[in-house]
Amino acid sequence: MKLSFSAADEQFRIEVATWLEENLVGEFAQLRYRGGPGDEHMFPEERKRWEQKLAEGGWTCVGWPKEHGGRGCSIEQQVIFHEEYARAGAPGHVGHIGEGLAGPTIIAFGSAAQQAKYLPGIVAGKELWCQGYSEPGAGSDLANVKTKAHFDEQKQQWVINGQKVWTSLAHESDYCFVIARTDPDSVAHKGLGFFLVKMDQPGVEVRGIEQLTGTSEFNEVFFDDAVCAADDIVGEPGQGWAVAMGLLGFERGVSTLGQQMQFQNELNQVITLAKENGAASDPVIRQRIAEAHAGLKIMRYNSMRTLSGADDGSLQKEALMYKLFWATWHRDLGELAMDVMGPEAEMLDGGPYELSRLQSMYLFVRSDTIYGGTNEIQRNIIAERGLGMPREPRVTIKPQ
């Protein structure tokens, strides 16, 4: 793994910073430091236009191969891009699930027809995606999904029935990648399919979930005889587990760089406040800020190590620890922010429910150690898949 940047990379850094300085102005200036988890409800339409502005400049999908519409950036250049993006205070990507998860998965596992159909819309910043993994009875254990898909021979299309939950930005998305059972008698990770489903169709209903912050970036999604084309299954029916695991590899790889961008901005805000209100004079607060800074650097280098491996999305052992690490780090950052705010942390500027950015962040990060696989599930994954320890006894429930 390389830890330094070449002269050409530093020139690339100047190119990124210059473009952001010249374009994050006018109607987009209000988007600085907005968006991302806990703040996804802010400026959705303006952030969609920003996504297309990025595309016009060639700054979407920077790590994708050029033949698929990306910029073909090296790992080092991707790190630089995200560092400069954070430094400029550019907004959270409203299209990050398509760019960081759906696109790389379709490139690695999809057919040429699927790549031609779906990748251009992601590159152009015009088509947004959401993730149909978690279910009410399978939030952290993907192998227990109960959503079903069967192939209608007469209509020559897949028919999907079931429910997903905690689906981020489903209400803004054009497509959803859905894990569903193609074999109704299958259990665990067998008999699954990975489907590319259009959201705007009869049979797809999105219901927002009001969160502790008073916002609704999570959703329930109901599939009631929703359909997708015969060739909109990625891989073979029954082999969806391998595709789903490949996608998780991308989630813990490239997309982590963008996530760390958001974390850096939040930590900077905490540091600025600590200097302003005198909290930084407390040696314990300074120690916790130093630990947060060190933790963010650990995330960065672990991501670079992960990205230095195979490019097919396959999970490396180093990637297994990432979710547990960042979720716990982010939760601790929320608690640090409240302690830096002091007594004002429990007060509101106005009624009925107007939270400051740090108050909202603190409440939101309580969910980080739950969604996307709880800390308990992540520890099992590390122990069993990473360290080769004996499996924890499990009860497998056959779908009804």
Tens of pLDDT, residue by residue over 313-330, are 455 677 778 889 999 999
pLDDT of residue 77: 87
Q: Give yes or no: residues 273 and 375 share one domain.
A: yes
pLDDT of residue 316: 65
Among 238, 269, 298, give the residue marking a domain's end. Answer: 238
Instruction: Give SS3 for 181.
Output: strand
Q: Give yes or no: residues 40 and 88 share one domain.
A: yes
Q: Which domain holds residue 226?
A: 129-238
- Tell me 239's DSSP state: B
Instruction: Using the predicted structure, report yes or no on whether residue 397 has a pLDDT greater than 70.
Output: no
- The arithmetic mean of pLDDT across residues 19-34, rounded, is 94
CA 147-148-152 angle, to 5 degrees, is: 150
pLDDT of residue 232: 96
Q: Sorting pLDDT into bands at 50, 70 and 90, what band is 233?
A: very high
Contacts of 387 (CB under 8 A, 6+ apart): none
Instruction: Using the predicted structure, report yes or no on whether residue 139 has a pLDDT greater than 70.
Output: no
Tens of pLDDT, residue by residue over 154-179, are 999 999 999 999 898 999 999 999 99
Give a yes or no: residue 244 inside a domain: no
Percent of the chain having pLDDT more than 90? 56
Instruction: Using the predicted structure, report yes or no on whether residue 395 has a pLDDT greater than 90.
Output: no
pLDDT of residue 314: 53
Q: Give yes or no: residues 30 and 64 share one domain.
A: yes
pLDDT of residue 374: 84
Question: Which two tokens mark 352?
Answer: 């009925």
Give a yes or no: residue 111 inside a domain: no
User: Which of 73-82, 358-367, 371-380 holds the top average pLDDT?
Assistant: 358-367
* CATH number (domain holding residue 212): 2.40.110.10
Give a yes or no: residue 79 inside a domain: yes
Q: Give yes or no: residues 205 and 256 share one domain.
A: no
Instruction: Using the predicted structure, report yes or no on whether residue 106 has a pLDDT greater than 60.
Output: yes
pLDDT of residue 181: 95
The gap from C-alpha 35 to its chain's centroid, in whole angstroms, comes to 13
Confirm if 316 and 253 have CB atoms less than 8 A apart.
no
Contacts of 270 (CB under 8 A, 6+ apart): 289, 292, 333, 336, 337, 340, 358
Q: Give yes or no: residues 171 and 222 share one domain.
A: yes
Confirm if 325 and 306 have CB atoms less than 8 A apart.
no
Q: Give yes or no: residues 229 and 260 share one domain.
A: no
pLDDT of residue 217: 85
* CATH number (domain holding residue 285): 1.20.140.10
pLDDT of residue 189: 82
- The arithmetic mean of pLDDT across residues 125-146, rounded, is 85
Tens of pLDDT, residue by residue over 249-307, are 776 666 677 678 788 889 999 999 999 999 999 999 999 999 999 999 998 888 777 76
Q: Give yes or no: residues 215 and 313 share one domain.
A: no
pLDDT of residue 313: 47
Identify the sign of the CA torsion 33, 34, 35, 40: positive
Q: Give yes or no: residues 219 and 261 share one domain.
A: no
Q: Give yes or no: residues 19 and 143 share one domain.
A: no
Query: How many domains, the chain?
Result: 3
Q: Sorting pLDDT into bands at 50, 70 and 90, what band is 1?
A: low
Which residues are part of the catalytic machinery? 251
* CATH number (domain holding residue 12): 1.10.540
| Average pLDDT taken over every residue of the chain | 88
Confirm if 290 and 223 have CB atoms less than 8 A apart.
no
Among 238, 269, 297, give the residue marking a domain's end. Answer: 238
Bigger pLDDT: 4 vs 358: 358
Bigger pLDDT: 242 vs 392: 242
pLDDT of residue 40: 82
Q: Give yes or no: residues 270 and 156 share one domain.
A: no
pLDDT of residue 373: 77
